[in-house]
Homo-oligomer: A and B are copies of this chain.
Amino acid sequence: MKEMKKKDKKIVPELASGLRDYLPGDMIPRQGMFDIIRKVFERFGFVPLGTPALEIESILTGGDPSFRMNIFKTNVRMGYDKLSLRFDLTVPLARVIAQYQNDIKKPFKRYQVGPVWRAEKPQAGRYREFFQFDADIVGSSSMMADAEIIAIMYATMIALGVENFKVRVNNRKILNGLAEYAGYSSEKNIDVLRIIDKLDKQGWSAVREELMSTTIAEGEERGGPGLSSQEVDSIKGFLDLRGNTQEEILSEVLKLMRSSPSAKEGIEELSEVLRNVRALGVPDDAWMIDLSVARGLGYYTGPVFETTLLDLPEYGSVFSGGRYDDLVERFSNLSVPATGASVGVDRLFAALEKLGRLKKKKSIAQVMVLNFDSSAEQYVQEIAFILRSANIPTEVYLGNEKKLRDQLGFAKTSEVPVVIIAGGDEAEKGIVQVKDMRKGKQETIDKSKILDIINSVLSR
């Protein structure tokens, strides 16, 4: 009676909003994408790091009362802190660098892939759990490192089969000179940059309005910086700077901002980046210096990077990052310069899908052995064993359909390229029937020939 009651009340099988499943049809190409990214990162000599999803709350917030990110906190405490879910992979990296400073030799080039969480109000295309795939170089202040990050961004896009993209590069040091150049108080600069960062998605007129406003915009906690129309026009002049070559842009910016030591330093850094990016084989048309790239996160201190898909600009940046020389100092007296970038895996996957760059497939098995005659069960298993021993991914049909025809239908839906038919007759004679599902051809062969035949069918 109790048993029945329990069985009758069903739990609704669902996910909370902002979360999603990847069924195999999506997961197979997604995993293929991960494999490609990993191979590129390893080609540049990066090594993997693993850190837990749960971090101590103050590690994540830096104990900063103005910390703005919504993080997931759990019911488990450590001291005054709650164990909380990481919102990126960069802060845990900085913790690791400080925590194991004697074990980790620098420069340290690490990659890491894993989920991160943000307890934001779910919106279309914005998820509360999503994957990042990061590559960072820790312990190098050289612009060669920043150039390498740009090269890895380029190489990743090429390896994924994306052709029409642009890596956009700027320098926070140049942006830090913006207040001086446009004439507003430098205290307002952090808000100005945060608003400029929205340019891509909201367009200039919305950004202009917010820069001039003093009221609190939606989703923000503070009022706008209330710039004058003259100040805003100066900013616009800066953002619109273009040139025929990267050198030309840099010399134009230098003209505008030569009074700012910070901007001058930023421009010199980008000149160095430029030379090294070219030496690393990145063609000039794959990237550009774009003064409007600001990046939202507060911890950037030098060059910043974004990657835009030119056919899908509305997807925003799919691979972004920058230099963050002060982050490790949050945890240690060590000053450890660092630079890196992060693939927005889920956004990139959606974009690749839209661009038709994913090799979609439903099945990993190359062969399905049908199983319609209970007297041949062991024979069927033996065939599967032979194929698997030769590293041919093989599935035995294990479902409820008993008829050959229905099992063939299942094999067709699974898109498996080869089917083997082996019932009692075949078992007795030591033969099997091999069906090429793509050509519809079927042949009867001796069991001893099975590997030769299957390999030749698969290579057709």
Contact = CB atoms under 8 A, between A and B. Distances in A.
Contacts of A82: 75
A255 interface: no
Contacts of A139: 399-400
Contacts of A52: 15, 19-21, 115, 129
Given A27-B48, A54-B117, A279-B385, A399 B332 contact: no
B74 A50 contact: no
A181 interface: no
Nearest to A278: B378
Contacts of A380: 279
A365 B110 CA distance: 12
A230 interface: no
Given A381-B279, A391-B43, A50 B75 contact: no
Contact of A10 (B30, B332, B363, B385): B332
A83 B118 CA distance: 13
A377 B276 contact: yes
A206 B280 CA distance: 66
A244 interface: no
Nearest to A99: B13
A381 B53 contact: no
Interface in A60-93: 62-64, 72-76, 78, 82-83, 85
A410 B139 CA distance: 13
A22 B47 contact: no
A13 B331 contact: yes
A160 interface: no
A21 B331 CA distance: 17
Interface of A: 6-7, 9-17, 19-24, 26-28, 30-31, 42-56, 58-59, 62-64, 72-76, 78, 82-83, 85, 95-96, 98-100, 103-107, 109-110, 115, 117, 119, 128-129, 137, 139-142, 144-145, 147-148, 151, 155, 275-276, 278-281, 329-333, 362-365, 368, 371, 377-382, 384-385, 388-389, 391-400, 410, 413-414
